[in-house]
Amino acid sequence: MFRRLYDWTLSLAGRPGATWALGAVSFAESSFFPIPPDVLLVPMSLSRPDKAWFYAGVCTVASVLGGLLGYAIGALLFDSLGHWLIRAYGLSDGLEAFRHSYAEYGHWIILIKGVTPIPYKLVTIASGFAGYSLFWFVVLSVITRGIRFAILAGAMHYFAEPIRRVMERHFGLVMGLVLGFVVIGFGLAKLAF
């Protein structure tokens, strides 16, 4: 199943709608969707290493815009949608303590958690729920998401061929590591909340 998805994503990179799909996944991942944009960014960048930086820019902009939706969910809809999302990820127990930590450490929370495997949607929703400064939320989101996607873009741009060979030879192992990375991210989020 993952192999077909990988092959399909590689073929998608040359299509006109590929960038829109990448942007949509990046947007959704920052507010409600559980799958990170890396599943599209990596194969698309491997297929077109010359566009890796452009793809990282699309991911950054869409992720920050999606983060604004997540912030709005936390600020305006927490009692309904926001709380349901947090509960769906099993993180509602520590949310109140996490909200209080924003008063003193909000900037560090956004910067650090934005580059870790912890799902960014949890940071965006919690930022809105805690009433963190919208201005600083946007500035810090641009920085942290930009760094995260730039690291991937740099790897894909400069090392596309060796990465592609590893993906082709050890696809099952690579997908297992990616899935493990996502699970670890949710586990770390549970500890962080």
- Cβ atoms 193, 122 nearer than 8 A: yes
For residues 86 and 74, give the distance between their C-alpha atoms in angstroms, rounded to a whole number. 10
Q: What does the pLDDT average to over 182-186?
A: 61
What is the percentage of the chain residues whose pLDDT exceeds 90?
Answer: 26
pLDDT of residue 167: 73
Q: Which domain holds residue 108?
A: 2-192
Which of 16-25, 39-48, 120-129, 163-172 comes out lowest in average pLDDT? Answer: 163-172
Q: What does the pLDDT average to over 65-94?
A: 80
Token reading at 97: 């303590």
For 88-146, what is each residue's pLDDT tens digit?
Answer: 766 666 667 766 777 778 888 888 877 776 778 888 888 898 889 999 999 999 999 99
Tell me how many domains the chain contains. 1
pLDDT of residue 37: 86
Average pLDDT of the residues of the chain: 80
Render the burial of 103-131: b for 16+ CB within 10 Å, e for the rest: eeebbebbeebbbbbbbbbbbbbbbbbbe
pLDDT of residue 26: 92
pLDDT of residue 7: 67
**Is the pLDDT score of 192 beyond 60?**
no
pLDDT of residue 111: 85
For residues 51 and 19, give the distance between their C-alpha atoms in angstroms, rounded to a whole number. 10
Residue 174 burial class via C-beta count within 10 angstroms: exposed 0-12, middle 13-18, buried 19 and up: middle
**Is the pLDDT score of 174 beyond 80?**
no
What is the percentage of the chain residues whose pLDDT exceeds 70?
Answer: 73
pLDDT of residue 162: 83
pLDDT of residue 5: 62
